[in-house]
Structure formats: structure tokens, C-alpha cells
Chain A
Amino acid sequence: MKSLRAALAKLPAYLWSGWGAVASLLLLVAAWELVAQQYGPLVLPDPRSAFATLAHSLALGDAGPELMATARRALAGFASSVLVGSALGLLAGVSMTASMMSRPIVTVLLGTPPIAWLVLAMLWFGASDGTPVFTVFVAAFPVVFVGAMQGARTLDNQLKTMARAFALPPRMMFLDVYLPHVVSYLFPAWISALGISWKVVVMAELLSSPDGVGAALAVARSQLDTAATMSWIVAVVGLLLAVEYLLLEPLKREVERWREPGAAPGGAAT
């Protein structure tokens, strides 16, 4: 409760620090505008028309359901990869044999292109939600797995011995010794996995689904509608930015506050 309050208290400062990020994004938009002026709207429509197209389709109610469908599939795949990857990765990290055995398998999984999984998934699941969800799961799983395994492998033996010497009960052993360490490995892995999920789901939808942002992109491509294409890209990337910087990054900062040089534990000092 205390840490939640401390996190909320720091939110304005965090948002204010976002101006730098906003400025660099605007620079990117300016470059986009420049290229658009150079090559004309068929090659690259200017940002304003892309944003206008997005606003228009949002107002019409076309974009909402597509984005929802995409988000649903991405999050379903992401959630299952987080659950399964974290659990299996931690188990593998606890046992030396398991981690040695799983390393080459993980390399194979990481090395297999998602598009190859997508072809298999289309054969197995057809045009159902299963295809994008499975592809997302397979693409994100090894990243989470490796993070969890590293977290469990690198548990500090000295701290474990200390905790045993002071007879910490199992619950405290888990919550106060193991978990904070493992989380510091899991969290970055989860964030990368989310980025992967978001990219892979659009690709999977483009080839396999009747609806969702990927399907909408396929339609825009067949109609040579570059403005619509750019508006979908803006929507997807905007959502990812929002989830990452408004949800995950503040959460990560709160969880890893002990790493910062100038940090003080929230609420512990009175």
C-alpha cells in the first residue's frame, strides 16, 4: 500500500520527464513529413493525413474493434508466454541439468523465424484466433524463458546462506530473498516479450485472420491506400508506447528502485 502511494506520488514527475521522449518522437514525425513532401502522398502520405485517417476511422467505429481484436490476441499470446515461460524458466534455472539441456532448445526457438511458425500455425489452427495467439506465444516464450532461467541461475549463494543462517521461514525466503532478485531479471524479459508480441500479432493477422489490424493492413495494401496503412501503423505503435511507458516502465521503476543511486525506499523512512 505504501509503495503504491509512493509510486502515485512520483507519477507527475515521471510524466513531466516524458517531454524529452515526446520531443524525440516529434522529431521523427518531422522527418516523416519531410520525406512525405519529397515523394508525394502515394509513396508516403504526410503525418497529418495519416492521423486524420485514423481519427476518421476511430470516429466511424471501424478502428476500435480491429484494435481490440489485435490487442486480445497479442495479450493472450503474451500472457501465456509469460506464465509458461516464467514458470518453466525458473524450474530450469533451479536445476543445472535442466538449464544445460534447455539452452540449445532455446537457441533453436529463438532462431526459428516467426513466419515459419505462422505457416505451421495456419495449418494447425486455420483462420481462428489460435493462429496469431500461438505464433505470438512461440515468438515471445523463449525470451521470457531465458530471462527467468537467468534469474534463477544467478541467485546469490551468499544471500541464501545468510538467509538460512538466520532461519528465515520459507515464505520470507521466497518473498524477500528469491522473488526480488528474480523479478529484476523477469521484468526486462517481459517488456521485450510484449514488444515482440505486438509486432508478431500484426504479421500473423496479415496472413491468417479475417479481422484485426493485420487484416486491415492487408486490405489497405490491396487498395494501395498508404494513408490507411500509415494510420494503422500509428495506432499499433501508439498503443505499444502507451502500454510500455504508462504501465510497464513506471512499474519497473517502482520494483527496481533499490538499484537507483539516489533512491530511498518509499515509506520505510518516517
Chain B
Amino acid sequence: MTGAVAPALRVRGLQHAFGRETVLEGIDLELAAGEVVALVGPSGCGKTTLLHLCAQLQIADRGTIDDGFATRACMFQQPRLLPWKSALDNIAIVLAARGVGRDEREHRAREIGLRLGLAHEDFAKFPHQLSGGMQSRVALARALVVEPDLLLLDEPFSALDIGLREEMYRLLLDHLAARRVGVLMITHDLAEAVRLSGRILVMAAHPGRIVARIALDAPVAARDDEWIYQATARLLSRAEVRDSFGLPPLHAGRGRPARAPSASIGSDLRIVEGAPVLPFVRRTQRC
């Protein structure tokens, strides 16, 4: 579709309303292959709606979504497995939907399941017989088995404990390292966004809009806990972010933390400003 140009997801001037309530307004974003973009914002700011629009599960009222990626897969807040199908069939069903033959789809489902930490005996189990972590692995396997070019993640790991979440991140990052997948992920966990993404779009509610765009220029593999902690703290000290989440402003001036986190760690791993905040967002910010 886009010819020689690298595939990308381009969203321009997106606006959407449920009834008379505008949930999204003036959303512009671009996501290239191999890029991880995180959408952070408080509950109810329209993150999920935006993701649904990108997944073409809903039609936007206004604006364009140009999806140049060939294959798309989603992960939702809950694993959303079919309770009457075995773990293997839950993974393989998305291949069946693409007309892959039975033997091949079971082979591929098994292969990716094993890679994501499922055991052979788990494949025959029904979802309710699996633990939450195992269900998430099945859901991740189901998303990755189609080898998507665009991965849409809606807080898929928010219900997992911190150890499991770390492992799911690692599995996801391993997969991303091997393929140039574009990832648009929703989260309300700033640390998760800092951990995984190359760019963070901060959203605010009423109406849902992007109020800040932040680029993280450190390679994902080089980010350790300390760096994530520092970067999250700095992100959280920004006025737009505090405002978006309804946190009280910091005392010491506009958007600067009272005591800046130590700059000795991560001085080479900077948070840099990406595209400037849209002028129109500035105007509406105080509404």
C-alpha cells in the first residue's frame, strides 16, 4: 500500500464521541516499524478507544487512520481466551481464521507456546485450569503466532505480579528484537512505559487528547531498574503528566522536581523532548 516507504501507522486529526461526550479530540500520532510507542494517561482518557480505533474495531467520527502494516494483532487487559477451547486451540484459532491448515497451525502454536514458557502438558488444558500467568502467556502467544507487524497492547500485563510482568516484558522484548514490529501499547503505569517504549505519549481526559510527547533515547536493552526508576521519577515531575493524572503540582517551580533525582546515573540515558506539544492542546489544557 505504501510502496517502498517503510510501513507505518499514521493517525491524523482523529476525533471520536460516544453520544454527546467527546472522548477523543485532535489525535495525531505516527508509529513506524520497529518502534514502541506507549500511550499513558489516567483511566477514562480514551486510551482504549484510541486503540480500538487503530484496531479498526470502531470507526472514528472524524480523522484518518492509515495502517500500512500487513498484519495486526491485539492483546487486551484480560487474556480473553475462549473458555471452551484448550490452550493450544486458543492460540491456533487465529491461524485457523487465516486459513492455515490444521497440522501447521498446531505446530506453530506449539512452537510459540513453548518459546513463551508454556509446558507441553499446558496445551491440553482449558483456560480455567491455567494460572493467570499462564493465561497471559497463551494470550501473548495468540497475538504473536500470526507474526504481526503491528502489535496493539491494552495493558495486557496489568493484573500480573511484578515477577511475572518482568518475565512477560522479557519475552515480548525478545520477540521484538527478532522482528521489526511496531508496537502501540496502552498503560497507566509510567514505569512500564519507561521500561518498554521508545516514545511516550501522555494523554489527558475530557476530552481525550495528547498533551505531551516524550522520546526516550536510551536503547531498551540498556535500561536497568535504576535507570527506569530515575526516568519514571523525572517523567512524573513534569507538569503535563501530573496534571493529566490529577496530581497536585510540585512546589519548586514549573514542572521541575523539588529535588532532582541524582543525575549521576543515567546521565547518558536522557529523556529528551520529542515533538513539541501541539499548540491547540496548550490552549485547551486548562479547560
Given A268-B88, A268-B89, A167 and B82 touching (CB < 8 A)?
Answer: no
Bound CA–CA A176/B89 (angstroms): 10
Chain B interface, DSSP helix/strand/loop, else mixed? loop
Which bucket holds chain A's interface residue count?
Answer: 20 to 34
Across the interface, which residues of A come within 8 angstroms of B121, CB to CB? 269
Min CB–CB distance A254 → chain B (angstroms): 12
- Is B126 in contact with A166, judged by CB distance below 8 angstroms? no
Of the stretches A34-42, A60-68, A156-164, the one at the interface is A156-164
CA distance A145 to B83 in the complex (A): 24
Contact B57 A177 (CB under 8 A): no
Interface-lining segment among B90-98, B162-170, B207-215: B90-98
B18 interfacial contact with A, CB 8 Å: no
Chain A residues near B94 (CB-CB < 8 A): 166, 168
Main secondary structure of the interface of A (DSSP, over half): helix
Q: What is the distance, in angstroms, from A154's C-beta to the closest C-beta of chain B?
A: 13
| Docked complex: B58-80 residues within 8 A CB-CB of A | 73-74, 76, 78, 80
Q: Which residues of B contact A177 (CB under 8 A)?
A: 82
Most buried by B among A169, A181, A258: A258
Q: Are A264 and B97 in contact (CB under 8 A)?
A: no
Whether the Cβ atoms of A169 and B97 lie closer than 8 Å is yes
Is A269's CB under 8 angstroms from B124's CB? yes
A9 within 8 A of B: no
Cβ–Cβ < 8 Å partners of A176 in chain B: 82, 85, 93
Q: Given the complex, which residues of A lie within 8 Å of B269, measured CB to CB? A: none
Task: Give the residues from 147 to 198 in chain A that come closer than 8 angstroms, CB to CB, to chain B.
Answer: 158-159, 161-162, 164-169, 172, 176-177, 180-181
- What size tier do the contact residues of chain B reach? 20 to 34
Instruction: Indicate whether A166 sits within 8 Å of B85 (C-beta atoms), given known contacts A172-B97, A264-B125.
Output: no
Q: By the criterion CB–CB under 8 Å, are A167 and B97 in contact?
A: yes
Interface string of B98-111 (1 = CB under 8 A from A): 10000000000000
Residues of B within 8 A of A261 (CB): 128-129
Which residues does chain B contribute within 8 Å of A167, judged by CB atoms? 97-98
A158 touching B80 by the CB < 8 A rule? Answer: yes
How far, in whole Å, are A159 and B152 apart by their CA atoms in the complex?
A: 16
* CB proximity to B under 8 Å, residues A217-263: 258-259, 261, 263
Give min CB distance, A67 to chain B, whole Å. 37
B74 touches A265 (CB 8 A): no
Q: Which residue of B lies closest to A168 (CB)?
A: B97
Partner of B124, one of A158, A165, A181, A264: A264
Chain A min CB distance to B100 (Å): 13
B122-145, CB under 8 A of A: which get 1 and which 0?
Answer: 011110110000000000001000
Known A162-B74, A165-B74, A263-B126; contact A268-B86, beta-carbon cutoff 8 A: yes
Check if A180 sits within 8 Å of B74, measured CB to CB: no
A162: B residues at CB distance < 8 A: 74, 76, 80
Question: Which 6 residue pairs spanning A and B have beta carbons closest together?
Answer: A269-B124, A180-B84, A165-B74, A162-B80, A258-B84, A265-B86
9 other A-B residue contacts (CB within 8 Å) besides A165-B76, A166-B97, A268-B88:
A164-B57, A166-B74, A176-B93, A180-B82, A259-B128, A265-B86, A265-B89, A268-B123, A269-B124
- Give the interface of A toward B (CB within 8 A): 158-159, 161-162, 164-169, 172, 176-177, 180-181, 258-259, 261, 263-265, 268-269
